[in-house]
Amino acid sequence: MKVLAIDTATEACSVALDTESKVVSRFEICPQQHSQRLLPMVDEVLKEAGVELSDVDLLAFGRGPGSFTGVRIATGMIQGLALGTGLQVAGVSTLAAMAVQAATSSGVPLVACATDARMGEVYYAVYRVSDKGLEEVVEEQVCPPEVAATSVQNLLKSNPQFVPAGTGWAAYESLGALLLNSESVSVLYPDAKAMVNIAKTLKEDGEVSSAAAVEPVYLRDKVTWKKLPGRE
């Protein structure tokens, strides 16, 4: 199964194409340039792999949580690609993708993901990654960092080691204080390369959708930028 995955939910912009024999990918930290870089990166991986978009079997995208604007960019792009090809789409959790990356690089199966969501909150979830797949130990949510820190402390009572992932650990002291009990934060952002296998599993489980039914996941409805003085 050939899978094309994209992600723009954070400061990173990434594209990956699994051709069955190899994975061709691009990854850039390019804040506020996602809309300019995404399509050229898609073209680059297709050309490098020698694959036409019509040869792809499944599309995948980072459906959030993450930046409102970033998630919308990826959603719009994947809908456009799906409408043009008739392909089904798998929406992959950005936190789950980071968990797979962190567990793969560290060899530690328990991963606590905390990404800075601004406004004094984090996007948080805990996963256990194994050969059997991905298990969500604590469901993804948006919460104050202190709530996430308490959750991690409770997990440590029965799990002596975990791997942190995401930007929230450096952004908030309550989370950063827990790093003495873990590996260092090696994965800050999701990468589309980690989404392709998750997308295949979603396809096998029937958890895919048509272009019209693609849905992003924001976890909250509040905007994340400061309002200008005198404006609502």
Same domain, 102 and 34: no
The helix/strand/coil state of 51 is coil
- What are the C-alpha distances in Å from 227 to residues 70, 120, 231? 19, 16, 6
Q: What DSSP state is assigned to residue 18? A: E
In a domain, 69, yes or no: yes
Q: Which two tokens stand for residue 98?
A: 């980071």
In a domain, 68, yes or no: yes
Same domain, 43 and 84: yes
Same domain, 172 and 139: yes
* Alpha-carbon gap, residue 46 to 16, rounded angstroms: 9
Sign of CA dihedral 132, 138, 140, 145: negative
In a domain, 229, yes or no: no
Q: Return the CATH number at 70.
A: 3.30.420.40
- Model pLDDT, residue 132: 85
In a domain, 21, yes or no: yes
Same domain, 142 and 103: yes
In a domain, 16, yes or no: yes
Same domain, 32 and 49: yes
- Model pLDDT, residue 160: 82
- Model pLDDT, residue 232: 35
- Structural domains in the chain (count): 2
Q: Which two tokens stand for residue 64?
A: 């959030």
Range of the domain at 68: 3-93+190-213
- Model pLDDT, residue 3: 98
Same domain, 65 and 98: no
Same domain, 82 and 125: no
Beta bridge partners of 7: 14
Same domain, 130 and 20: no
Contact criterion met (CB below 8 Å) for 196 and 5: yes
Residue in 103, 94, 224 with CA at minimum distance from that of residue 167: 94
In a domain, 225, yes or no: no
In a domain, 218, yes or no: no
Same domain, 77 and 108: no
Same domain, 98 and 171: yes
Q: What is the 3-state secondary structure (H, E, C) of 164-200?
A: EECCHHHHCHHHHHHHHHECCCCCCCCCHHHCHHHHH
Residue in 226, 211, 199, 220 with CA at minimum distance from that of residue 66: 220
Same domain, 15 and 88: yes
In a domain, 20, yes or no: yes
CA angle 15, 3, 209 (to 5 degrees): 100
Same domain, 70 and 150: no
**What string of pLDDT tens digits covers the 232 residues of the chain?**
999 999 999 999 999 999 999 999 999 999 999 999 999 999 999 999 999 999 999 999 999 999 999 999 999 999 999 999 999 999 999 999 999 999 999 999 999 999 999 999 999 999 999 988 899 999 999 999 999 999 999 999 998 889 999 999 999 999 999 987 666 899 999 999 999 999 999 999 999 999 999 999 999 864 444 433 443 3
* Alpha-carbon gap, residue 118 to 122, rounded angstroms: 7
DSSP sequence for 55-121: G--EEEEEEESS-HHHHHHHHHHHHHHHHHH---EEEEEHHHHHHHHHHHHH--SEEEEEEEEETTE
Sign of CA dihedral 14, 68, 32, 37: positive
The helix/strand/coil state of 7 is strand
